[in-house]
Chains A and B, each alone.
Chain A
């Protein structure tokens, strides 16, 4: 069983704020619309390179776009 990712993202909010469609953004970063949709919904973890590309499109820092919850004591 694959452990679900705890990483969440704000891609959709940034995309809508920028007035872009999924197809527009997908074309900008060189993936299919379906892949971008899967990333937005947390169903696919993008590579680090793709994450940086996304952050660059919106002109924000990586941590503004992707969030990882604080771990409980003793866990990474």
Chain B
């Protein structure tokens, strides 16, 4: 597995885990009451920061293990990596635009700041997951 494929897998796994932990903690903090009342932003920041840190850690550890097996595969990238990264970026961009429009709509109807922040968070999460899936599928199934 090449460096950028490992990075794509690491980001995908850590995003899914980070979002799952955020939702579980948010619902636990709400304790059956309204989620709007929860002090959401420390949880959200922790989820985002934790996801990024986990992604870097996974990528580094995986890279060290892969480098022991094949030194060339540890860091080398080429045109296919660039093409797959571009395709994944386009997929991510589409979902970020949708989330941005959702934020504008929520602002227009003067929604609670909780929903506005979580709409954007959901946009980041969905774009990252879908973009990550698009990348790993392209690595496995091909990009022609």
List A residues at the B interface (Cβ < 8 Å).
2, 4-5, 23, 27, 30-35, 38, 41-47, 50
Contacts and interface: CB of A to CB of B under 8 A. Distances in A.
Q: Size band of the B side of the interface? A: 10 to 19
Nearest to A46: B79
B49 to A, nearest CB: 32
A41 B80 CA distance: 14
Considering the complex of A and B, which 7 residue pairs feature the smallest CB-CB distances, nearest first?
A43-B142, A5-B144, A35-B80, A31-B78, A45-B144, A32-B2, A34-B2
29 contacts: A2-B144, A4-B144, A5-B144, A23-B72, A27-B72, A31-B78, A31-B79, A31-B80, A32-B2, A32-B76, A32-B78, A32-B80, A33-B73, A34-B1, A34-B2, A34-B5, A34-B73, A34-B139, A35-B2, A38-B143, A42-B142, A43-B141, A43-B143, A43-B144, A44-B80, A44-B83, A45-B144, A47-B79, A50-B79
Interface of B: 1-2, 5, 72-73, 76-81, 83, 139, 141-144
B78 A30 contact: yes
A2 to B, nearest CB: 7
A40 to B, nearest CB: 11
Contacts of A32: 2, 72-73, 76-78, 80-81
